[in-house]
Amino acid sequence: MDSILDYDTVELNEEDRSLRIIDQTLLPGRIEIIDLTTPGEIWDAIYKLKVRGAPAIGVAAAIGMYVISVRIAQTCADNAASGATGFDFGRFCREFKKQKEYLNSSRPTAVNLSWALNCMDRVCREAVEKGSANGIPDPEPVLEALRSEALRIRDEDVATCRRIGENGLTLIGPGDGVLTHCNAGQLATVRYGTATAPMYLAHERNYGLRIYCDETRPLLQGARLTAYELSSAGMDVTLLCDNMAASLMKSGAINAVFVGADRIAANGDAANKIGTMGVATLAKAYGIPFYVCAPMSTVDPSTPDGDHIVIEQRPASEVTEMWYTERMAPEGVKVYNPAFDVTDHSLITAIITERGVHRAPYDFTKEQ
């Protein structure tokens, strides 16, 4: 039987020049790998959480822009052939920018999306300028530059998560109880995860951690994804509903909390899946260290604090009927369904990145 860990969350299908992902909306019931080629398919996959988690979204966006660029170049080449005017780099760049902005509209909170798209845009402009200066009306060097950048972002994600795991592992010991919220695991990255990276490395080294996963809205990602992938790896995992964390902490079972982030403001405020702020508040009350794990690409120096982070609102149906055979809530009832909340920096014991363990006072306006 296949394990979810046998598959990469996001990859480039070189043969078809397509974006290949695990459709996470179908987990844990079945593993389905899908290939995406059109802007609409890629936008839909990000918006509907078929691919999710800030780092994985960034990698998917980078590979997605390469895949889209292949199709844009083909259209420009076809037009050039019919009109005998040569390859139109101007049209290519205009369409690239249009599709970049389109993908960026799919999820407003995760900064890795815009970060990756901006990386691809920079490489595209540099490659086009070089090709134009050399008088080479050939899109292949531009496409190869975009491919290389997308794969660089992907490979960098794997190495970054490994370093986050090594840094986080210094903060826990054998036999510890660790609570995590939502999914900041392998399914949210390419490999290892962010908040789960210390857990994967601890498992490799026989720490015997006791891991507790909050259920977590939206889409019950702690129950469906984190509990699934960590148990698939052979870890000791216990699932709990979100409103059970307080009693578990009071029992003394939890030694540390590790969570991910979708955007970290310059002052250390961190946006993560809804309910994270409540977990941080409880951890503070019970004297439990609360750690945020994320790559530096999730840090947004241009956002001064959490009040400036845009919070995505999800459809009401995710609460009222999505997970039930029959509708659970009364027709017409209003629903409050934000995807994220912001944990104040004062509640965060440390922020763990690939560059080390950062402690208060946080100042991410400076080069780390």
* Per-residue pLDDT reduced to its tens digit, 34-47: 999 999 999 999 99
Who's near 272: CB < 8 A, 6+ residues apart?
Answer: 181, 182, 184, 259, 260, 261, 262, 292, 340, 341, 343
* Average pLDDT score over residue span 251-280: 97
262 is catalytic: yes
* Average pLDDT score over residue span 122-127: 94
Q: Is-cis flag, bond preceding 28, omega within 30? A: yes
Q: Is the pLDDT of residue 77 over 80?
A: no
Whole-angstrom Cα distance, residue 367 to residue 39? 34
Q: Please give the CATH superfamily to which domain 171-358 belongs.
A: Translation initiation factor eif-2b; domain 2 (3.40.50.10470)
On whether the CB atoms of residues 150 and 118 are closer than 8 A, the answer is no
The more confidently predicted of residues 92 and 87 is 92
Which residue in the list 262, 269, 300, 341 is annotated as catalytic? 262
pLDDT in tens, 294-320: 999 999 999 999 999 999 999 999 999
The single residue listed with the structure tokens 């490994």 is 162
Sign of the CA dihedral with 296 first, then 298, 303, and 306 last: negative
On whether the CB atoms of residues 147 and 66 are closer than 8 A, the answer is yes
Mean pLDDT (the chain) is 93
* Average pLDDT score over residue span 188-211: 96
On whether the CB atoms of residues 120 and 65 are closer than 8 A, the answer is yes
Please tell me the CATH code under which domain 4-161 is placed: 1.20.120.420
User: Which segment of 6-20, 69-83, 174-188, 244-258 scores lowest on mean pLDDT?
Assistant: 69-83
Using alpha carbons only, what angle is made at residue 130 by residues 126 and 134, rounded to the nearest 5 degrees?
170
Instruction: Please report the pLDDT score of residue 137 as a whole number.
Output: 64
Q: How far is CA 119 from CA 146, 249, 368, in A?
A: 9, 42, 19
**What are the domain boundaries of the chain?**
4-161, 171-358
Q: Is the pLDDT of residue 84 over 50?
A: no
Q: pTM (2 decimals)?
A: 0.89
3-state secondary structure at position 352: strand
On whether the CB atoms of residues 347 and 285 are closer than 8 A, the answer is no
